[in-house]
Chain A
Amino acid sequence: MGMTISEKILAKASGKQKVEAGEYIVGKIDLAMIHDLTGPLTLNVMKEVGYDKPWDPEKVVIILDHQVPANSTVTAELHKQLRSYARKHGLKNFHEVGRQGVCHQILAESYVKPGMLVVGADSHTCSLGALGAFATGIGSTEMASVILTGEMWFRVPETIKFELKNRLSKGVSAKDIILKIIGDMGVDGALYRAAEFVGDGIESLSVDSRLTICNMAIEMGGKTGIVNPDKKTLEYTGTKGAPLRSDPDAEYASHYEMDLSKLEPQVAMPHSVDNVKPVSEVGEVEADQVFIGSCTNGRLEDLEAAASVIRGRKVKDGTRLIVIPASQRIYLEAERRGYIREFIEAGGVVCNPNCGPCLGGHMGILADGETCVSTSNRNFLGRMGSTASKVYLVSPETAAATAVEGKITDPRKYLR
């Protein structure tokens, strides 16, 4: 019996020839990431343990991304704490304001390679599986242990195979795929499992799109989302050689199939990510705010898609549009290509790269009774502010069309 890519990576990291689902192993970590909200707790734990020297300074990445630049004295202290830890231990991989971006995007752009075992003190670390790594989120205390020892225990997860067939039609994108999957699977449909995306459908998609899909594996309880590396992955990550891939006779816990050509734009309704409907069945939903950004949909491809809908049009009166590129690199390229100007001319605001309003931190918090149509990944009760507000999750295309019409709108009429 062969192994899945997840099993192969965990076997390699634990120095074993073979591992099986259900087995407990101790893995050597290739990369560990903390950010401005979970990192300070990690540092506090190390302080209590009485040791704070990282096992390998090259493998620890610290990214300011949640509330950047600091929006309060409390946040400023958190940033200061991380900054001084990085300085104390000579950590080169510290992403200061000006080199920042949403942590998972920074990891994708500059650090993660296929076959790595990656942990981050953020649940959406599973995004990085899009690059053929095994990547998962952990808590702050666990991260303290990782930074001190370079190791962590894992239960080798069973894998669910998601086979995506054929191509998407115009105006439908990666976000619609993963929303549809979560709607079908439920918020615990992949609990403790690896979600492996295979087939000509996933191969046809860009690395940006694959990151969007793997990003939301956690929203169905998945330990990671993962895509077998191909030519696109090697090119994106600047790697050569033969990366680890699943064997043809690997064992899977279950199998799910989707014909991408039949998919229409999807919407996750409040207050659960699995409360998903096709856009045609949503009915009239007015938007006070539209947010385009986050680790799910703040990449260049997403801004390009949104710009192509917004181009030459205006944001509807009564609706506010907030656009936040996921990294400085994306911000600069979007500026060069003219997208930033197009958003501003349409009547939107463009903020500097960071997590923004996604988790209700700043830059667009919702008041009682308000509705946000968002490209982010969670619509839990109170996620973006008031517990009397609502969040609908959509693709960048749908978000842009919604900004133009002021209500949830099928973007395909703008993208013929």
Chain B
Amino acid sequence: MDASSNRIMEVKGRAWLFGDDIDTDVILPGKYLVLTDPNELAKHALEGLVSGFSSKISKGDIIVAGKNFGCGSSREHAPLALKYAGVGAVVAKSFSRIFFRNAVNIGLPVVISKEARDLIKEGEKISIDLEGGFITKEDGGRLVVDKYPEFLLEILKDGGLLQNLKRRFDKEAKT
């Protein structure tokens, strides 16, 4: 994925359903933490739950999960593995706070919806409007999601905190 692909405002893809408390050891096992190449990490994304996950999904597909997604470790390798495997966004009833921050920081949209997991079907084509704050289902129905505070939306629009920092630092260097 192109790191400079900014202005992520809409995500479209098929839904992959997961349960509650999907932890970071399942998303990316500890033995792979010595890897720093995101494309290598991506090969092992969620391998303990769905064998060959990274080769089965299509770019832009969306994980739709229950509560407390990403609980456990602070490893940024976990959202990185998902992003580089091609996951376009994660929708969950709730997220662990470190995973949520990490995902926003690396430019992987994470969306909180209390009802999505119960109303979206496996494989259903959905789209998420990040700025508008809603999910559109295959049948055209809309699900409202929690809106981001303005500064978080800015980081996501920039494509992640790295690009956001770069912009801020380059600006300072010029003045």
Contact = CB atoms under 8 A, between A and B. Distances in A.
Contacts of B98: 123, 137-139
B67 interface: yes
Contacts of B76: 38, 41, 139-141
A285 interface: no
A49 B167 CA distance: 9
A361 B32 CA distance: 9
B68 to A, nearest CB: 4
B160 A141 contact: yes
Interface stretch (A252-260, A367-375, A378-386, A406-414): A378-386
A272 B19 CA distance: 14
B48 A123 contact: no
Interface residues of A, number: 51
Interface stretch (B7-15, B101-109, B120-128, B133-141): B101-109
A141 B33 CA distance: 15
Contacts of A138: 74, 98, 101-102
A291 B36 CA distance: 28
Nearest to A123: B74
A383 B23 CA distance: 10
A40 B36 contact: yes
B169 A51 contact: yes
A192 interface: yes
Interface string A133-159: 000011111101100100001000000
A67 B33 CA distance: 11
A37 B35 CA distance: 9
A41 B68 contact: no
Contact of A187 (B24, B71, B106): B71
B21 A272 contact: yes
Interface string B118-161: 00000000000000000000000000000001010000000011
Given A66-B33, A361-B31, A49 B72 contact: no
A1 interface: no
Nearest to B150: A24
A359 interface: yes
Interface string A303-344: 000000000000000000000000000000000000000000
B77 interface: yes
B34 A67 contact: yes
A359 B32 CA distance: 10
Given A123-B73, A123-B98, A360 B30 contact: yes
B15 to A, nearest CB: 22
Given A360-B30, A383-B25, A38 B75 contact: yes
A221 interface: yes
A74 B34 contact: yes
Nearest to A355: B30
Contacts of A44: 36
A121 B68 CA distance: 20
A318 to B, nearest CB: 26
B36 A41 contact: yes
B41 to A, nearest CB: 10
Contact of A191 (B35, B68, B79, B161): B68
B8 to A, nearest CB: 16
Contacts of A221: 68, 71, 96-97
A363 interface: no
Contact of B161 (A37, A141, A188): A141
A365 to B, nearest CB: 8
Contact of B34 (A78, A188, A378, A380): A78
B161 A381 contact: no
A191 B97 contact: yes
A55 B109 CA distance: 29
A122 interface: yes
Contacts of A141: 76, 102, 105-106, 160-162
B38 to A, nearest CB: 9
A365 B96 CA distance: 27
A75 interface: yes
Contacts of B96: 188, 191, 221
A24 B149 contact: yes
Nearest to A358: B30
Interface in B42-83: 48, 67-68, 71-77, 79
A235 interface: no
A140 B79 CA distance: 11
B29 interface: yes
Contacts of B160: 141
Contacts of B79: 139
Given A141-B102, A381-B26, 4 more contacts: A48-B162, A140-B102, A187-B68, A378-B25
8 contacts: A24-B151, A72-B34, A139-B76, A221-B68, A360-B29, A361-B31, A361-B33, A378-B23
